[in-house]
Structure 1
Amino acid sequence: MGPEHQIAFFLRELAGRNTQRRVAAAKGLGKVGRREHAWVLAETAGDPVPQVREAAAIGLGRLGVPEAGEKVLPLLMGDMDPWVRRRASLAAIHLGLHGDGIVRAFTKLLDDPEYHVRINALVGLTALGVPGDVSTLVSLLGDPDGAVWGRARSLIYELRDDPAVKAEVIRTARQGDAAARIEALTLLPGRCTERLLDSLLAGLRDPSPDVRIAVASRLSDVETPQIRDALATALDVEQSPAVAARLLRMLEQPGDQQLIGPARRWLRDPVAGPAAARTLGEVDTGTAVELLRGVIDDTGVPGPTRAAAAKAIGECGRWDAVWQLLPLLDDPDTDVQAGAVDGLGAAVYSGLRLWERWPVTRVLVDRLAAEPSTAWRTGYALIGLPDALPVLRRLADSAEAAEVRAAVLSLLVPEDLDGPGRGRYGAEEDVRRLVRGLDDTEEPVRYSAALALEQWLRFGFALPPGREALHDRLGTLASDPSPRLRQAVAAVLQALADPGGPN
C-alpha cells in the first residue's frame, strides 16, 4: 500500500465508529500525512473519546505544522484526561508554539497531578524563557519527583535576575514549605545571607530537622559571636542526631571546653557519635581525651564513632596515644582498624618519639603488605616515616598486589633528599624503581609511578642514564587508554622539557 492509499485509508478510519481504529488512524496520519492533514487532526482533537484526542495530539506533534496546533493544543493541555494533557503539552513543545495562550496553558500545568505533565510544563516554559506563575514555579523546588524539582531549579537559576523570581525565592527561603525552603536556601548567593538572618535564626527551631540542617549550613558562613552563641544554644536543646552532628561539626573549635558537655551527650549515638568524637579531639583537654579513651575501649560503641575517636587521639598526641592505638589494629571492626591507622598517621605527621618509631613502622608496613584493600590508607599514614623506606623499597620490588605496589611507589618521593633513610644512593634507586613502574602491567601502578617521577623531576633530581628510552616509554604511555595516566605522563614530559629542570 503506497502513501496515498495509506492516507486515504486513515482518513476513512477517522470517520468511522471504532475507537481503536480512529486512534490508529490519527497516529498513522501523523506519520504519513501531508501538511494539509494537520487540520484534519485538529478537528479530530474534539473527539469525545480521550484516547482519540490523545492520538490526535500525537499526530499533530509529528506532522510539525504549528498553525494547525496553536489553537487546539492549548485546549487539549487543559483536558480532563492526564494522557491527553501529557501528549498535547509534548506536541506543543515539539511544534515550538509560543504566545500568551501557550504560556498560560503551560502555567496551568505546573501543578498538574501527573508528574510527566509537570515536567512538560517546565520544559515548555524553559524553551520560552518565562517562569509562568512565579509562586507555583518556586514551590516546585519541593516537588517529590527529582525530575520535576531539578528542572524547576534549572529554570529558576536561568531566570535568577528576574525581580519577581528573586523575590519569591527569598520569600520561600524565609518561610516556604520545608522541601522548597531547603532548595531555595541553596539557590541564593552568599550575599543574601544577611537579609535572611532573622529567618535563619528562627529556622534553628523549625519542626523539620532537614530545615534546621539547611539553615545551620547557611549560617556557617557567618562568623560572629552572636551566631556561634545561637548555634550553641540550638545544640543544647537539639533532639535530632543528624542536626546535632551538623551543629557539632560547625562549632568544633580548638580548646572550646564548652563543647565537652554537648559532645559527651551525643558521643554514643550512632549518627552523631563520630562528629562528637571529632569535636572532643578539637577541644584536646584532659577531660576530652579521657572521654575518647573510654570510647575506643568500649566495644558497644558503634565502629564509626570508635574510629573517629581513634583518629582524634592520634591528633591530640598525648604520651600514650601510640600505645592506645596499636592494639586497635587487631580490632574485629574494620572501621576501628581504619581509625587506628588514621590516628597513627596523625601521630607520624606530628612527629613520633624515638622509641615509638620502630613499633609504628613495623605494624604499618606489615599491614600495608597484608591488607591490599587498605593499602592507600596505610600508605598515607607512613608519609614522613623514613624508618620505613628500606622495607618499602623491598615491597616495591616484590609485592604481588598491585594496590600495594602503587601505594609504595607513591611513598618514594622526595621530602628531604639527604634526610634519614634517603641518601643519594637511595634516591637514584628510587627513581629507577619508578621508571620500572612505568612498565607495570597494572594501570594504578603505572599511574603512581608517573606521579612520583614527576615530583622527583620537579625537585631537580637528575635522571640516571637511559633518558632516551624513558622518553620513548613516556611517548607510548601518552596514548594509554587511561585518561588520568595520560595526564600524569604529560606532566612528566613537561617536567623533562622544562628549561629550569634537569639537563
Structure 2
Amino acid sequence: MTILEGRSLLTTIEYGDEGERRRGVERLAEMAEDERAAAVAHVTSSTAERLADAALEVGGEAGLTVCRTTVLAAESYVDFPAIVERLVQLDHPDAVDVALEAYCRGDAEERATIARLLAGQLTPSLADALEAAAADPGWLSRKRHGRRLRKRFRSGTDVTRRAAALGLGALGTERSVRTLANALEDEDAVADALAGLSIAPPGLTAVPLARACRNPDIARAASETLVTAVDRLEFDVLLEDSDGHQLVDAMVAVEDSAVRARLVHAVHEGVAADVYRDREDVFETLVAAGDLPDPTAREESAQMLAFTGRAAAVDALLERFDDPDPDARAAAVEAASKVGVDIGLEYASLLESATAHSHRTAAAYGAIEETTAALPAVRERLLVDDHPAVRRAAATALGNMGDDRAVRALVWALETDPSHEVRRDVARALGRIAHPAAVPPLRRALADPEGYARSGAATAIGNPAFDHPELLVDLLCDHDDPNVRSSIAYSLAQHSPDEALDPLRTALETEPDDGVRSSIVRALGDLGEPARPAIRTALKDPSDRVAEVAAEILEKLE
C-alpha cells in the first residue's frame, strides 16, 4: 500500500460510517510502519483527533498500532490526556505503553494530567515518579533526588528503571542526559533511555541520538526519538559547528532508508545550512534522497538542495519534477528556482572577497545560469501539472526567476487556472517580474470572483516598479472590494511621499469602511514624519479601531 493510499484511508476514517472507519483503521495498521507514519504526518488537528478516536473505537492490536502512530507522527495536533483517558479503559496489555508514549510527548501540564490518569494502572513507584517528574520540577532539582534517579535507573527493576529514565529526562541536566545517553549501549536499557531522552532538552539530546542512529541495532528507535527532539527545538535555534556536523555525519553514514529519511528531517529542521552547504558528501546524499520512499524526506531534501548553490543541484531537482507525491514535486519545482537566487544573494559580496573564494563565485554564477536554464521545465509544470500545489510552486518559482520569458505563461494561468490560490500566486509572480505587459491582465484580475485572487492582483499591481501611481489612486478610490483598497493603500505607500501622501489623506477622509481606514492610517505611517498631521486627524475617527491604530502609529513615530 502506498503513502497516497494511506492518506486516502485517512479521509475514509475521518468521514466514513462506523464500518468504514473500522476497515480504514485495520488497513492502515497493515501498512509498513514508515509509510503509515508518513501518511499520518502533517494532518490537521481535527483529522488527528478523529483518527485517534477511530483507532481507540476499534481497539485491539490494529487500533493500538494506529493510535501509537498518531501519537508519534502527529503529536503537534493530538490531545494526549484525552487519548490516555480512553487508553486506560482498554483491556489490552500494550495500552499502558502507548499511554507512556503520550506522556513522553506532552508538555508539563499534560504530563501531570496523564500521570494522574495512569495512577491506577501502574505500580505505586512508577506512578509517583511520573507525577513528581511532571508536576514538581523542584523535586527533581534537589541533588539527593537526582542521585536517587541515577541509581534507580542503573540498578532498578524494569518498572523502576522506566520511571527513573523519565525523571532524568524531565530533570534535563547535562549529567542526567549523559546518564541516559550512556545507557543506549545497554540492550536492556535502550527503550527506557530513549523514553527519557525524548522529553529531555533537545539541545542536549540531538548529538547523542545522532550517534545512536549509526548503530544499526537501535537506529530506527533512536531516529524516531531524534525527530521528536529536533521538532522541539526553538524556532530560531539551529545546531551549528560540531553539533550540527554530528547530525549531518549521521545522515550521510546511515544506509537504512527509514533512518536516513528521519535524519534528513532532523538536519532540515535543526541544522544551519552553513554547516552542510559546501560538503560534497552531503550534496550526494541529498541528491540520492530523491529515491527515498518517504515523500516528506524527498520534499525536505529538495529544499536543502536549494541551499547548496550548485548548478548540479538544478539538474537533480529537474529529475524530481515527475515525483508522484505533489508536495515533493512542488518542493522540487520551487527549489529549482532558488538555487541560483539564494546563492545569488551572496554573489556581490563574493565578487568583492578574496581570491580564495573564487570557486564560490564561479559556483554562484553557474547556479544562476543553470536556474535560468530550468525555466522551460518550471513553466511546463505551471501549465500542465494536475495538482494545484505544484502549479502554485511553479508560479512562485517563475516569480523568483524574474525572467520576462515567463510572463506569457503566467498571464495564461492568471486567466484560466481553476484554482483561486494558483491565480493569486500567479498574480504575485507577475508583480515580482513587473513587466509592463502584465498590467492589463492584473487589472482584469482585480475583478476575479474570488477574493484570494483579487488580493494577489492588488498586491502585484502595487509594485512600484510598474510606476503607475495614478492607477493605484483610482483603485483606492473606486474599487468595490475593501480588501483590494487596503492592499492598494499599502502599495501606494511604497511610492514617494510626494506621490502618495495627498491621495492617502483624501482617501482617509472619504473611505466608508473602518477596516480600510485602519489600513490607510498604517500606510501613512510607512511614509513617516510627513504623514504625521494626517495620522493625527485619525485620532478623532468615529471608529475606535481606527483611532487606536492612529495612536499606535503616532507613538512609533515619536
TM-score range, shorter chain: 0.5 to 0.7
Shift, 1:71, TM fit: 4.8
Structure 2 counterparts to residues 213-362 of structure 1, below 5 A: 217-223=303-309, 227-229=310-312, 232=315, 235-236=318-319, 240=323, 246=331, 248-252=333-337, 282-283=372-373, 288=376, 296=383, 301-303=386-388, 312=398, 317=404, 321=408, 325=411, 329=415, 332-335=418-421, 337-338=423-424, 341-342=427-428, 345=431, 349-352=434-437, 360=441
Secondary structure at the residue paired with 2:288? coil
Structure 2 counterparts to residues 117-136 of structure 1, below 5 A: 118-121=194-197, 123=199, 135-136=211-212
TM-score, normalising length from structure 2? 0.49
Question: 1:175 matched to which residue of 2?
Answer: 253
Question: 2:79 matched to which residue of 1?
Answer: none
- Given that 1:254 and 1:284 are in contact with CA atoms closer than 8 Å, whether structure 2 keeps it comes out as no
Alignment CA distance shift 1:53-1:75 (3 Å): same
Inter-partner Cα distance in structure 2 for 1:229 and 1:389: 43
Inter-partner Cα distance in structure 2 for 1:448 and 1:379: 14
Aligned residue among 269, 292, 303 for 1:208: 292
TM-score, normalising length from structure 1? 0.53
Inter-partner Cα distance in structure 2 for 1:179 and 1:308: 23
Inter-partner Cα distance in structure 1 for 2:543 and 2:474: 32
Is the helix fraction higher in 1 or 2?
Answer: 2
- Given that 1:204 and 1:212 are in contact with CA atoms closer than 8 Å, whether structure 2 keeps it comes out as no
The amino acid across from 1:87 in the alignment is: A
Question: 1:198 matched to which residue of 2?
Answer: 281
- Given that 2:209 and 2:222 are in contact with CA atoms closer than 8 Å, whether structure 1 keeps it comes out as no
Inter-partner Cα distance in structure 2 for 1:158 and 1:345: 33
The amino acid across from 1:172 in the alignment is: A
Determine whether 1:51 maps to 2:117. no
Secondary structure at the residue paired with 1:143? helix
Shift, 1:431, TM fit: 0.9
Alignment CA distance shift 1:113-1:333 (3 Å): farther
CA-based RMSD of the aligned residues comes to 5.8
1:247-305 Cα offsets, whole Å, 9 max, x none, are 554544999xxxxxxxxxxxxxxxxxxxxxxx9994599xx49x958974x6x844455
Question: 2:151 matched to which residue of 1?
Answer: 74
Structure 2 counterparts to residues 397-436 of structure 1, below 5 A: 399=480, 402-413=482-493, 415=495, 428-434=502-508
Uncovered stretches (5+) of structure 2, i.e. residues with no partner = 1-120, 341-368
Question: 1:501 matched to which residue of 2?
Answer: none
Shift, 1:454, TM fit: 1.9
Alignment CA distance shift 1:170-1:455 (3 Å): closer
Inter-partner Cα distance in structure 1 for 2:317 and 2:413: 38
Alignment CA distance shift 1:150-1:328 (3 Å): closer
The amino acid across from 1:193 in the alignment is: Y
Shift, 1:351, TM fit: 1.9
Question: 2:164 matched to which residue of 1?
Answer: 88
Question: 1:21 matched to which residue of 2?
Answer: none
Inter-partner Cα distance in structure 2 for 1:114 and 1:99: 17
Bigger-Rg structure (1/2): 1
Inter-partner Cα distance in structure 2 for 1:440 and 1:305: 37
Shift, 1:98, TM fit: 9.7
Uncovered stretches (5+) of structure 1, i.e. residues with no partner = 1-48, 256-278, 498-503
Inter-partner Cα distance in structure 2 for 1:365 and 1:59: 58
Determine whether 1:142 maps to 2:228. no
Shift, 1:175, TM fit: 0.7
Inter-partner Cα distance in structure 2 for 1:109 and 1:325: 58
Aligned residue among 388, 394, 402 for 2:471: 388
Q: How many residues align?
A: 381
1:180-213 Cα offsets, whole Å, 9 max, x none, are 5325644455554377323532552355266666
Alignment CA distance shift 1:253-1:350 (3 Å): same
Inter-partner Cα distance in structure 1 for 2:390 and 2:127: 60
Question: 2:183 matched to which residue of 1?
Answer: 108
Secondary structure at the residue paired with 1:182? helix
Shift, 1:377, TM fit: 1.2
Tell me the percent identity: 15
Shift, 1:68, TM fit: 7.5
Alignment CA distance shift 1:204-1:434 (3 Å): same
